[in-house]
Amino acid sequence: MSGALPPEIPQLELRDVTVRFGAGQDAPYAVDGVSLSLGRGEILGVVGESGSGKSQLLRAVMRLPPREARLGGTMLWRGRDLATLGEREMRAVRGGEIALITQDAATALNRVLTVGAQIDESLAAHTVLDRRQRRARATELLELVGIRDAARRLDDHPHQFSGGMLQRVMIAIALASEPGLLLADEPTTALDVTVQEEILRLLLSLRDRLGMSIVLVTHDLGVVARLCERVVVMYSGRVVESCSVTALFAAPRHPYTRALLASMPGEAPPRTRLAAIEGTTPSIGDRPAGCAFHPRCVAARPFCAITVPPLEEQVPDHQAACLRQRDLADRVAA
pLDDT of residue 23: 82
State phi, psi for 290 to the nearest 5 degrees. Answer: 70, -140
Q: How far apart are CA 35 and CA 57, in angstroms?
A: 11
Look at residues 74, 2, 83 and name the one whose alpha carbon lies nearest to residue 36: 74
Q: How far apart are CA 157 and CA 227, in angstroms?
A: 31
Domain spans, the chain: 12-97+179-333, 110-178
Classified as helix, coil or strand, 94 is strand
Q: How far apart are CA 203 and CA 182, in angstroms?
A: 10
Q: How far apart are CA 327 and CA 323, in angstroms?
A: 9
Find the angle CA(166)-CA(169)-CA(173) to the nearest 5 degrees. Answer: 140
Q: How far apart are CA 124 and CA 176, in angstroms?
A: 10
CATH topology of domain 12-97+179-333: Rossmann fold (3.40.50)
Q: Which ranges of the chain have pLDDT less than 70?
A: 1-8, 190, 267-268, 330-334
Write the DSSP string, 112-144.
TS-HHHHHHHHHHHH----HHHHHHHHHHHHHH
Exposure string over 221-244, b if 16+ CB within 10 A, otherwise e? bebbeebbebbbbbbbbbbbbbbe
Positive or negative torsion for Cα 254, 257, 263, 264: negative
Write the DSSP string, 287-301.
PPSSSTTGGG-TT--
Q: What are the residues whose beta carbons fall under 8 Å from the beta carbon of 323, sequence distance 6 or more?
A: 291, 301, 303, 304, 307, 309
- pLDDT tens digit string along 179-226? 999 999 988 776 777 777 888 888 888 888 888 999 999 988 888 998
